[in-house]
């Protein structure tokens, strides 16, 4: 079994525009071809214009008759068509969907996506014993909205959170979905965005049960050509959503182990495979923006530290923090500045922590820190020191922020969700108390 070359996998039918085209032209092409994004070419450099970017410009009343070169675009990495599928793993950052595949002269050959990669994972040899419900922890907070919510409110929420979809529910049961493709249709057709979201949602939707194996889910998305899977429990209630990229993270780690068994065929690839597997496992554990642990890795480390706490009869505490009025930062200064704030805050936090402390980006502008051997009083004092310092740091563009903290202790018999709930309740009490303070919830 050989690793396929990118020239065998790449999609060659690509919608492209160049910098001299107008935004109206790009929007029309995306709508006509039912695409969420379009590739922008400029002197063998390639950029992506997304439906989310167009929505942001539309809401800010940008003139769509202007040329594309008047806006800032994200550059897409490139890779030669003669490389194999393993060589893409270093380029697949968590929020990156496309890689441009080029000819030897750097002209565009095609694109490769998460869909192309996951379509070449063999479901017959992978993940027979793993259930999709095992991954729900990393998707605790699902992007969902009630079916009667106004379309404008849903679109704004998607834009603010950088979400590419929203599950639409009725009594907690998923009945539809809004994706960035739907946004393009709404914008291109000048539809009434004050109408309830049920007017424009895609419905009905396909779901999988939490007991389905990952093998079955991979086969499901290959058959349906889905980019995400909506997960329900036995009562039909929404409990999670898994993206292709999360399945790729797990599947390639498993695939790497299986492929090493074909030693005669893979002897020359073993060293490269081990290195790439390690890198990809790290990607699955790290938040791409802040380089902190993500929620999934934090959950794993919490269990280990909790067992150590019980064995040694130690103290342990946890604090959560949230940037005050972060939505105002994004709305006023733009998402690039918002991202810079998150990165600078992460660095400031790390300076105050010990090597044994575990810090993760919990989601959005919310962070969580686990402090082994530290009691609640010590953690409260630390939180106040961090809070006071954050007020003094120039986050860029003469922007200063404040933050709110919730602190709690970890108790024998706690599950992670118990500890998180106490800290989260304290955090929101801090918000209700005027922000920029620390609240303890024992």
**Catalytic residue flag (residue 365):** yes
Closest alpha carbon to 368 in 318, 410, 327, 427:
318
Strands of the sheet containing 98-102, edge to edge, are: 78-80, 98-102, 108-113
Of 365, 366, 380, 389, the catalytic one is 365
The first and second tokens of residue 389, run together, are 């310092």
185 half-sphere exposure, CB direction, 13 A CA radius: 13
Q: Are 396 and 341 in contact (CB under 8 A)?
A: yes
Work out the number of other CB atoms within 10 angstroms of the CB of residue 366. Answer: 17
Active site residues: 365
């Amino acid at each position: 079994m050989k690793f396929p070359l990118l020239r065998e996998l790449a999609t060659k039918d690509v919608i492209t525009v160049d910098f001299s085209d107008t935004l109206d032209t790009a929007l029309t092409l995306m709508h006509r071809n039912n695409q969420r994004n379009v590739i922008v070419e400029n002197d063998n450099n390639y950029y992506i214009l997304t439906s989310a970017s167009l929505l942001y410009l539309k809401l800010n009343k940008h003139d769509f008759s202007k040329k594309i070169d008047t806006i800032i675009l994200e550059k897409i990495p490139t890779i030669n068509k003669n490389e194999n599928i393993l060589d893409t793993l270093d380029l697949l950052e968590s929020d990156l969907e496309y890689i441009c595949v080029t000819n030897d002269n750097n002209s565009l050959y095609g694109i490769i996506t998460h869909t192309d990669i996951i379509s070449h994972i063999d479901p017959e040899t992978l993940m027979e014993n793993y259930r999709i419900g095992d991954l729900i922890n990393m998707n605790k907070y699902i992007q969902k909205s009630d079916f009667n919510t106004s379309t404008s409110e849903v679109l704004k929420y998607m834009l603010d959170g950088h979400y590419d979809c929203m599950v639409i529910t009725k009594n907690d049961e998923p009945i539809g979905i809004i994706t960035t493709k739907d946004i393009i249709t709404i914008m291109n057709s000048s539809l009434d965005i004050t109408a309830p979201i049920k007017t424009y949602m895609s419905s009905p939707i396909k779901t999988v049960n939490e007991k389905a194996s990952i093998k079955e889910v991979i086969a499901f998305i290959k058959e349906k050509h889905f980019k995400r899977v909506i997960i329900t429990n036995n009562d039909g209630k929404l409990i999670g959503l898994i993206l292709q990229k999360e399945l790729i993270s797990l599947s390639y780690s498993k695939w790497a182990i299986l492929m090493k068994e074909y030693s005669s065929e893979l002897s020359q690839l073993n060293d490269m495979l081990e290195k790439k597997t390690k890198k990809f496992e790290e990607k699955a554990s790290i938040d791409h923006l802040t380089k902190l642990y993500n929620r999934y890795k934090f959950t794993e480390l919490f269990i280990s530290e909790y067992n150590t706490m019980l064995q040694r009869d130690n103290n342990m505490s946890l604090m959560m923090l949230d940037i005050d009025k972060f939505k105002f930062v994004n709305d006023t200064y733009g998402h690039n500045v918002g991202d810079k704030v998150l990165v600078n805050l992460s660095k400031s936090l790390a300076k105050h922590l010990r090597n044994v402390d575990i810090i993760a980006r919990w989601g959005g502008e919310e962070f969580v820190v686990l402090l082994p051997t530290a009691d609640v009083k010590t953690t409260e004092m630390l939180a106040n020191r961090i809070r006071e310092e954050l007020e003094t740091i120039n986050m860029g563009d003469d922007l200063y922020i404040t933050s709110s903290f919730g602190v709690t202790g970890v108790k024998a018999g706690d599950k992670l969700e118990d500890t998180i709930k106490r800290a989260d309740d304290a955090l929101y009490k801090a918000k209700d108390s005027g922000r920029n303070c620390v609240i303890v919830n024992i």
